[in-house]
Amino acid sequence: MRLSVHHETRYRFTEPQARIVQLLRLFPGDTSHQTVVNWRIDVDCDARLREGFDGYGNITRMLYAEGPVDTLVLSVSGEALLTEQDGPIEVTDEPFPPDLFRRVRPLTRADALIEGLGQGDDLGAMTALAGAIHARWPLDRRPTPAIRSAAEAAGDERLGPRDMAQIFIAAARAQGVPARYVSGYSLSGDDERRTAAPHAWAEAYVSGGWYAFDPATGGRSGLDHIRVAVALDAAGAAPIAGVRMGAGEEELDVDVRVGSETE
C-alpha cells in the first residue's frame, strides 16, 4: 500500500520573534516494512535547515530562522510504500540494544492500574495488551496541549494515541519487555484521515525482534502506519521541539492529512 501525507504546522506570534530554533523529527527512514518514495519539507520564511540524526538514530533537521518572524509555516509532504511482513521490523541502524528500552522514565512509570494491564511477555501478550488498552479507554483524537505521564493519563476517561502509547510502554516494561514510543502517521482504516496531530503507537521487543502495536486500534500495526521516529517516551520522539526568542504569545494550528493508494 502507498500512503501519502500532508502535514502543515502553522505558528502565529502576537509580536515578531527575533529568532526561532527547532529540532524537527519529521522525516521517515526505510525499514523492512516501509520504503520512502519521496519526502520534502517547505518553510514559508528565510530559514536554514541542517541535516542530522538524534541519539536514537532518527533522521532530523535543525531549523534556524532569523527574525523578525510574525508567522512560521512548516509543510511536510511525501509518500511511503508499506509492505506486509510477518517478521519483526528491521532498520539499518539500531544505535542501542533492546535492554535500554526497559528503562523506566517519569513519563512511562507504571502505577498499579497500568501494571495490572499486562499478563505476559511474549508476542501474544503484547497484542492482548494493546487490545486491553483499546477496550479500557475510548479513543479521543483531540490533541492534548502538553505531554503527560502514563499514570496521569490513566486517570482520564478518554485518551489520545500518545497517551495510549505511553501506557502500553509502561505496562510492557512492568512485565520486563523492552518497549519504545513511535511517532508517525496512520490511515487508521479510513480511506482518508484528517487530524490535528500526527499519530503515535509503540514497539515491543519480543520473539527476538521489534514488533509494532497500536493501542488506538487495539492490535498490531500494519500497512497503514508510516514510522517516523522512536524514543524512550513521547518527549524524545516529538515531531517538533524548539525555542523562540521574543516576547508575546504563540498560536499553533496543525493539520494532518493521510491518504492511501493500493499498489
Domain count, the chain: 2
Residues of the domain holding 248: 2-79+240-261
213 in the same domain as 133: yes
- Residue 203 in any domain: the answer is yes
Are the C-beta atoms of residues 9 and 208 closer than 8 Å to each other? no
Measure the CA–CA gap between 231 and 184, rounded to whole angstroms: 12
DSSP character at residue 53? E
pLDDT higher at 186 or 93: 186
Q: Quick check: 262 pLDDT over 70? A: no
pLDDT higher at 50 or 261: 50
155 in the same domain as 130: yes
> What number is the average pLDDT over the span 12-26?
97
Q: What is the average pLDDT score of the chain?
A: 93
- Residue 190 in any domain: the answer is yes
Measure the CA–CA gap between 214 and 82, rounded to whole angstroms: 16
Q: What are phi and psi of 130, to 5 degrees?
A: -60, -40
250 in the same domain as 218: no
122 in the same domain as 47: no
Are the C-beta atoms of residues 50 and 14 closer than 8 Å to each other? no
109 in the same domain as 197: yes
32 in the same domain as 122: no
226 in the same domain as 213: yes
Of 257, 259, 247, nearest in space to 18 by CA: 247
- Residue 86 in any domain: the answer is no
Give the pLDDT confidence of 47-106 residue by residue, as tens digits: 999 999 999 999 999 999 998 999 999 999 999 999 987 889 999 888 999 999 999 999
- Residue 85 in any domain: the answer is no
63 in the same domain as 134: no
- Residue 12 in any domain: the answer is yes
